[in-house]
Structures are given as structure tokens and as C-alpha cells.
Structure 1
Amino acid sequence: MALTVGLWGFSWIVMKTMVPLIGPFDLVMWRYLIAFPVLLIMLLATRQTLAFPPLWLTLGTAVFQTMAFQCLSQLALVTGGAGHVVMLAYTMPFWMALFAWGLLGEKPTKRHVVGFVLAGVGLTGIIAPWQGLGSLTASFIALAGGVCWGLGAVLAKKMFQRHTLNVLTVTMWQMLLGAVLTWPFTLIIPQRPIVWGWELSLGLAYMAVGASALGWWLWMSVVRRVSASVAGISSLGVPVLTVILAWLLLDERPSAAEVGGIVLILAGLVIVTSAGMRRRLPGAARR
């Protein structure tokens, strides 16, 4: 999860620099279209299975997590014109916990509730709604992206619970389905022309290989191994890292509310992940 947070946290910095170079739907389609053969080559080289996973759960995961979340987040980033709007997408852990409760029967413990409350207050500090959220439409789009990611991640967890699957194979098919499902939007919805050059090429290489192929493979591995609630709240490390990187690389100095939000999110992460470890360890090891 730490590697996933690192890859995805930096990806928001990369995406911000790519906004003038490529439209949101073109970016999503191309990153997945490049990531698919990268993972295919890895599977062929290691002689792992290429079998297509269970259809409906795989398709549901692709629609909500792989395609809808990314497209809505990119659209909100472009139309909202404010980095804080993107943070609304990271309400995902709270939606994921809700869907996991209803679809997987993962009832949160008291420690989980405390951790979620702290992380929720911290995320509010980073978003800072009292400073304005820019376009109201963009805010709702970003929030819808978070809901879609939460539902898609729970469907992925359900698939791993029901079936014994190769995570790398599942990720490869997710990349292909994400590209195919996004392609019609690149034709229907007007976007800025693509400005091809070395900057866009480097950005696409990172988004395809680092953030998509490797990032989604790591994320799926996390979803398979831990509860949906723990996986979801762990992703809040991404906006925390994004704020820090934006400060260091883009000279976007965080406010006092953002610094306080980072501290609260980290506290919530520690509480929730330690609760998961306590449940997995035997009594002697726990002591």
C-alpha cells in the first residue's frame, strides 16, 4: 500500500502538468491502452494464466473503479480549476466502508469508527470547503468519482472472495476494459487537441506504467489481502502525499488547516490499520 500511495500521490502532480496537453478522456484511454500490453508481456514472460476472470464482477469493477472513477476525476480536475476539488474523490474510503457493510457484511468496529472520524475531519481540513469548492458541478463530479471507486473496489473484493484469481491477470484485463469503455467518450465529448511532444510522452509513460500497470496491480493486491475498510482508508495517504508534493514541487504551500488535516488522517490510518493487525494476530503475538 505504501508503494501504491507513492505512485498515485505523485501521479496527481503529473496529471496537473498534463492538463494543457491532453483531454481528460484521452488521458484515461491512453494510459490504460499502454498499460495493457505492458502487463500482457509480463504475464507471457512469466508464463502466468491469461484466463478472463468472472465476467460480471470483472465488468462491474471495470465500469465503476477503472473507468468511471478515473474519467470523473479527470473531468473534475479540468472543469473545477482547483486542486481541492480533486480531494473530493478521496471520500472513497467512506463510501467503500458503506458498500462493504452492505455487500460484504464487513461491519466496522469501534476502532474503525474512531479512525474514520479522525480521517474524515482531516480530509475536511484538506478540502477546506469554507474557502470555496470552485464549480459546484465539478465538486459533484469529483464526489461521484469517489462513490464509483468505492463501489468498484468492493466489487473487486467480492470477486477475490468468491474466486481464486491471479491479481496480475485481473489487472491486465481491467486495463483493457478501461481503455475500451473510455474510448466512446473520447469520440462523443469535445476535448482539447492532443499536444504531442516529449513532455506528454514522459507523462503518459509514468501514468501508464507507474500509476496504471504497477499502481493498479498493487492496489488489487491490497484489496485481495485486507478488509475493504482497511484498504479504503489506507488510500487516504494519497491526498496527504499529494499535498506534500505540491508544496515541494509546485510551491503550493499548505495552510494550517491542511497540515492539521494531514496529522488527523495519519492518526486515523494508524488506528484502523492497527485494528486490522490486532484481529489477525494471535493473542501471544498481539501482546
Structure 2
Amino acid sequence: MPVRPQAGPRPDATGLLLLLVTVIGWGLNWPAMKVLLEEVPPFSMRVVCATIGVSLLFAIAARRGEALSVPAGLFPRLVMISLLNVTAWMGLATFSLLWLAAAEATIVCYSMPVWAAIFAWPVLGERITAKRVLALALGLAGLAVLVLGRGVDVGMEKLPGVAVALSGAVLFSLGTVVTKRWPVAMPPASAAAWQTALGCTPLLVGAILTERPAPEEWSAQSWWLLLYGGLGPLGLCYLAWFAALRRLPASAAAAGTLLTPVVGVTAAAFFLGEPLGLRELVALGLIIGGVVLAIRG
């Protein structure tokens, strides 16, 4: 009697749900930030959201009984990772929206896994494969379509935004690889809270030196969006992401983040009326294709 092959392990439904919550929350934040920049200066926007998010994360860490202090000798590493993963990402991604539509900024920023695959060679010793070279080529082709798809003149106007968003994506990718090489041995909520707090400190300095926000003039809509940005993408989504990583294979979680730019582009078209035509779809397809190849290595 033939033996029936055993079925493989079933996907963790809770992990998949947590991943879905994460990518939806992160994706919706891009059009939200674009709207906020009409009233709230970029540094101030990030600082207010971070204050809400950090407060929530520390409260959750305390509720869970997690250690809130940074282990001895870990602080310099934590600062370096925070500058790459938070300061560069949150600051540069936000500023890119001054030149780019929310959909365009989302597409550029989520080329991150392509650059992470490149940095993995010198930092982690992972060899450069043909797939990774092709991934880089697809990612660059997607950026070219996004910038120059409507002509050189339009492309030059958007070039500063693409450069800023791309710098954020590259530095975040470097931070991801550095974190994998030298991990931060801290509980998840406490680690996220400390990284966000330390990473947003330079943004606070920037707000003090260059901006004169007038919170009393901000509309109710702006305050609701700031609350969402702090509680959702910077608070609960980070916790959901860490929880999903514990339940799902790393490759599956990384592939799942590809839904984030799809959510961001779709939400920007629905809520902001941004164009969602052939240029955006081709650029999104090329970059996602590159990211898939980079993940598979």
C-alpha cells in the first residue's frame, strides 16, 4: 500500500494576519504623510508621530515586563543602528514627498531589499549572484521609468526627490544588514522604542533649528493623521512586524512586505487622486520584480 506523503507545515494564520496588518498600516501612511506636509513641517511631523509611537512602545514594553534599560556596552551599536534605520529612513523618506507624489516615493523607498542584497556581500559575506545582479538592473530600470517616464524635463524636477528617497532606502538597507551582522540583544518592544527615540533625536534638533511649527493652526484632520502615524506605523505595526517575524519564515515575511508599495500606490490613487497609469505600474512591477529576485538571492 503506497504511503501518502505528509503535507508540509501549514502557514501560520496568525503570523500572516499580523503581516497583513503591518503592510496595510505602513502602506496607508504614505498618502497620510503627503496630506500632513500641506500643514505640518517635515521634521515636526516625524517628531510628533515619534513621540506618540515611542510612548506607546515603552508602555507596551513595561506592560510585558520587558527590560527598559539598554545593556552595558550596547549603546554605541544601538545609536549607529538607530541613525541608519530610523533617522535616515524617516527623515529622508519624508523629505522626498516634497518633490514626489506619495505613490512615487513609496515605489522608490521599497527598493530596499535590492540594496540590502548588495550590502550583504561585503558585510555578511554573501556572494553576489546572477539573480542579485539582475535584481539591481530591474530596480534601476524601475527608477528610470519612474523619473523619466514623462520626459526629461519632468524627470529633472523629480530628481531631487528620487535622490533623497533612494538615499533613505540605501541607508535603511545598510542598517538592516548591519543589524543582522551585529544584532541588538534586546526585547522587541523595548528595542523598537529605543531605536525610534534615538533615531528621532536628530530630527528633533532639525525641527528646533529650522522650523517654526504652529500646532494651534493645524486642522483636526492633521491631528488625526499624526495620531494614526504614531499609534499605527510607528507603534502597533512595528510590534505586529516583530511578532510576524517570530511566526513566519524570514523569506516569507520579506516577500510579504512587497504588499506595502502596492497598498501605498493604490491608497494614493484612491484618497489623493494621484495618477495610477502605465508608468507607475511598469515602475512598480520592475522594482517588485527586482526585490523578489533579491530576496531569493
Q: When the two structures are superposed, what TM-score results if normalisation uses the length of structure 1?
A: 0.79
- Once residues 101 and 222 of structure 1 are traced to their aligned partners in structure 2, the CA distance between those partners, rounded to angstroms, is 26
SS in 2 for 1:206: helix
1:93 is aligned to 2:116: no
Deviation at 1:244, TM superposition (A): 1.4
Alpha-carbon spacing, 1:176–1:164, altered in 2? closer, same or farther (3 Å): closer
Conserved 8 A contact 1:64-1:151: yes
For residue 277 of structure 2, the aligned residue among 255, 258, 273 is 255
Equivalent position amino acid for 1:170 in 2: A
Q: Of the candidates 122, 126, 131, which is equivalent to residue 102 of structure 1?
A: 122
Query: Given that residues 27 and 264 in structure 2 are in contact (C-alpha distance below 8 angstroms), is that contact kept between their aligned partners in structure 1?
Result: yes
1:191 Cα deviation after fit: 5.5
- Report if aligned partners of 1:157, 1:223 keep a CA contact under 8 Å in 2: no
1:156–1:223 CA contact under 8 A, matched in 2: no
RMSD: 3.1
| Cα offset, 1:204, TM superposition | 1.1
Residue in structure 2 matched with residue 60 of structure 1 by the alignment:
80
Distance of 2:117 and 2:252 partners within structure 1: 9
Moved more, 5-14 or 151-160: 151-160
Q: Does 1:166 pair with 2:184?
A: no
Distance 2:56 2:282 in 1: 40
CA distance in 1, matches of 2:160, 2:112: 18
Question: Out of 223, 228, 235, which is 1:213 matched to?
Answer: 235
Residues 114 and 139 in structure 2, CA contact (< 8 A), matched pair in contact too: no
Residues 217-256 of structure 1 mapped to structure 2, 5 A cutoff: 217-219=239-241, 235-256=257-278
Aligned to 1:280: none
Q: Which moved more, 1:145-154 or 1:205-214?
A: 145-154
Counterpart of 2:224 in structure 1 is 202
Separation (CA, whole Å) in 2 of partners of 1:49 and 1:167: 10
> In the alignment, which residue of structure 1 is the partner of 2:171?
148
Structure-2 change in CA distance of 1:218 and 1:153 (3 Å): farther
| Displacement of 1:271 | 5.5
Which residue in 2 is equivalent to 1:40?
Answer: 58
Alpha-carbon deviation of 1:158?
A: 2.4
Equivalent-residue separation in structure 2 for 1:2 and 1:112 (angstroms): 26
Q: Is the 8 A contact 1:32 1:176 kept in 2?
A: yes
What is the CA-CA distance between 1:267 and the residue it aligns to? 5.0
| Cα distance change on mapping 1:130 and 1:197 into 2, 3 Å | closer
Q: CA deviation at 1:239?
A: 2.2
CA radius of gyration, larger in: 2
> How many Å separate the matches in 2 of 1:149 and 1:12?
17
Q: Decide whether aligned partners of structure 1 residues 234 and 154 sit closer, same or farther in structure 2, where only a CA change above 3 A counts.
A: farther
Q: Which letter maps to 2:62?
A: L
Q: State the Cα deviation string for residues 205-255 of structure 1 (Å, max 9, x = none).
A: 11111111123344556778866x987675443222211122222232411
Q: Secondary structure at the match of 1:20?
A: coil
Letter in 2 for 1:9: G
Cα distance in 2 for partners of 1:88, 1:260 equals 13
Contact 1:57 1:155 in 2 (8 A): no
Which residue among 182, 203, 212 is the counterpart of 1:182?
Answer: 203
Shift in CA distance, 3/173, structure 1 to aligned 2, threshold 3 Å = same
Asked if the contact 1:128–1:257 (Cα under 8 Å) also holds between the matched residues in 2, the reply is no
Contact 1:76/1:141 (<8 A) preserved: yes
**Structure 1 residues 251 and 138, CA gap change in structure 2 (3 angstroms):** closer
What runs of 5+ residues in structure 1 fail to find an aligned partner? 277-287
Identity %: 25
Q: So what's the TM-score if we normalise by structure 2?
A: 0.77
CA distance in 1: counterparts of 2:171 and 2:290, whole angstroms = 23
> How far apart in 2 are the matches of 1:204 and 1:233?
28
